[in-house]
C-alpha cells in the first residue's frame, strides 16, 4: 500500500498538467487589437427639393483619443458632388404641332430656357452627437461643409416650326429661346418636341459660385468597417450671375434647397 501511494505521488509530480504552479498561474494569451480605423470612402446620391445630386466623399478620422478611433468622434472629409436643378414650374409637354408621318417626337419641357448643372468641390467636418457606433447600433452625426460650386448653364433646344424671311417661309429647325424665336418657342402648335440633350452642349457656359451645406446623418452600418447612412440636410449656393431656367419666371443668382441622400462605403 505504501509503495503504491508513493508511486502515485511521484507520477503526479512528473505530470506537467498537474503542476500546482501551472494550475495557480495559467498562461493568458494576449488578444491582438484591431488596427485603428483612420480613413473612410463613401458614394451616395439623393433627391433635392429642386433636383437631384450624386456625391463622393473621402474622410480622415480625427478621434478625441487615438485609442477610440473606431468610435468616429470626428471626421474631416473632402467632397465632390454633381447635380441638376429643375424649376418647380417645369411641366413636360407633348407635341400637338404638325409632324411628318415617320417622326417620333421627343417629350419636351414647355417654357424651359436652360439646363443647369453644378459641380461642387468642398471640404467639411462630421461629428458624432448621439448613439453608439458599435455593430448593430445606430449613431447620429452632424456635418457641415462648403467650398467651390461650378455652375454649368446649357441652353435648352426644341424642335419647332419657325417663320423665316428672304424668302419668307416656314421651316422646321432646332431653336433656343431668344427675342427672334420667342413666339415659336412658346407656341405649342408649332413645337414638335425636344431637340435632345446633346444639342447646345458646345454652348455651355461656366458660372462660378460658392456653396455651404449642413445635415444630420443616421449611420446604421452592420459593421465598423462598412458605411450605410441616411443624410437629411439643407444646401445653399451663390453664383456670380443670375440663372434663368424658365420663360416668364424670375431668375436668381442663388439656390436654397433641402435634400435627402443615401450614402454607402468602406472604412479602414
**Among 101-105, 135-139, 194-198, the least confident range:** 101-105
pLDDT tens, position by position, 239-258: 999 999 999 999 999 999 99
Predicted pLDDT of residue 8: 53
The predicted model scores a pTM of 0.79
Q: What is the average pLDDT across 210-214?
A: 98
Distances, alpha carbon 61 to alpha carbons 47, 123, 183, in Å: 27, 14, 58
Residue 205, pLDDT > 90, answer yes
Indicate whether 125 belongs to any domain.
yes
Indicate whether 235 belongs to any domain.
yes
Domain of 123, in residue numbers: 32-90+112-158+197-267
Confidence tier at 139 by pLDDT (50, 70, 90): confident
- Report the range out of 6-20, 53-67, 78-92, 145-159 with the highest average pLDDT: 145-159
Predicted pLDDT of residue 65: 60
Predicted pLDDT of residue 224: 76
Indicate whether 83 belongs to any domain.
yes
Q: Who wins on pLDDT, 148 or 166?
A: 148
Separation of alpha carbons 171 and 200, rounded Å: 19
Indicate whether 97 belongs to any domain.
no
Separation of alpha carbons 73 and 63, rounded Å: 5
- Mean of per-residue pLDDT scores for the chain: 84
Please report, for the domain that includes residue 217, its CATH number.
2.40.160.20
Question: What residues have CB less than 8 Å from 147, skipping those under 6 apart?
Answer: 79, 120, 121, 122, 123, 210, 211
How many domains does the chain divide into?
Answer: 1
Separation of alpha carbons 50 and 48, rounded Å: 5
Predicted pLDDT of residue 174: 94
Indicate whether 123 belongs to any domain.
yes
Distances, alpha carbon 163 to alpha carbons 105, 134, 180, in Å: 20, 69, 10
Confidence tier at 101 by pLDDT (50, 70, 90): very low
Cβ distance 125 to 144 under 8 Å? yes
Question: What residues have CB less than 8 Å from 109, skipping those under 6 apart?
Answer: 90, 91, 92, 93, 156, 194
- Give alpha helix (H) positions in the chain: 2-14, 20-24, 182-186
Confidence tier at 169 by pLDDT (50, 70, 90): confident
Amino acid at each position: 500500500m505504501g509503495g503504491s501511494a508513493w508511486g502515485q505521488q511521484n507520477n503526479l509530480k512528473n505530470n506537467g498538467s498537474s503542476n500546482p504552479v501551472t494550475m495557480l498561474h495559467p498562461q493568458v494569451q494576449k488578444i491582438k487589437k484591431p488596427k485603428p480605423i483612420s480613413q473612410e470612402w463613401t458614394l451616395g446620391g439623393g433627391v433635392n427639393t429642386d433636383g437631384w445630386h450624386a456625391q463622393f466623399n473621402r474622410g480622415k478620422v480625427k478621434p478625441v483619443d487615438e485609442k477610440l478611433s473606431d468610435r468616429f468622434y470626428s471626421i474631416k472629409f473632402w467632397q465632390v458632388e454633381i447635380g441638376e436643378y429643375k424649376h418647380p414650374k417645369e411641366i413636360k409637354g407633348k407635341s400637338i404641332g404638325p409632324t411628318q408621318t415617320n417622326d417620333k417626337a421627343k417629350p419636351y419641357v414647355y417654357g424651359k430656357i436652360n439646363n443647369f448643372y453644378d459641380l461642387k468641390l468642398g471640404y467639411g467636418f462630421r461629428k458624432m452627437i448621439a448613439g453608439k457606433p458599435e455593430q448593430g447600433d445606430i449613431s447620429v452625426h452632424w456635418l457641415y461643409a462648403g467650398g467651390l460650386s461650378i455652375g454649368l448653364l446649357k441652353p435648352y433646344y426644341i424642335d419647332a416650326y419657325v417663320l423665316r424671311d428672304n424668302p419668307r417661309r416656314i421651316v422646321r429647325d432646332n431653336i433656343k429661346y431668344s427675342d427672334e424665336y420667342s413666339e415659336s418657342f412658346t407656341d405649342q402648335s408649332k413645337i414638335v418636341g425636344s431637340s435632345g440633350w446633346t444639342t447646345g452642349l458646345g454652348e455651355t457656359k461656366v458660372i462660378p459660385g460658392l456653396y455651404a451645406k449642413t445635415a444630420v446623418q443616421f449611420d446604421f452600418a452592420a459593421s465598423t468597417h462598412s458605411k450605410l447612412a441616411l443624410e437629411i440636410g439643407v444646401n445653399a449656393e451663390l453664383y456670380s450671375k443670375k440663372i434663368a431656367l424658365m420663360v416668364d419666371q424670375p431668375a436668381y443668382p442663388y439656390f436654397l434647397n433641402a435634400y435627402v441622400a443615401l450614402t454607402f462605403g468602406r472604412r479602414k
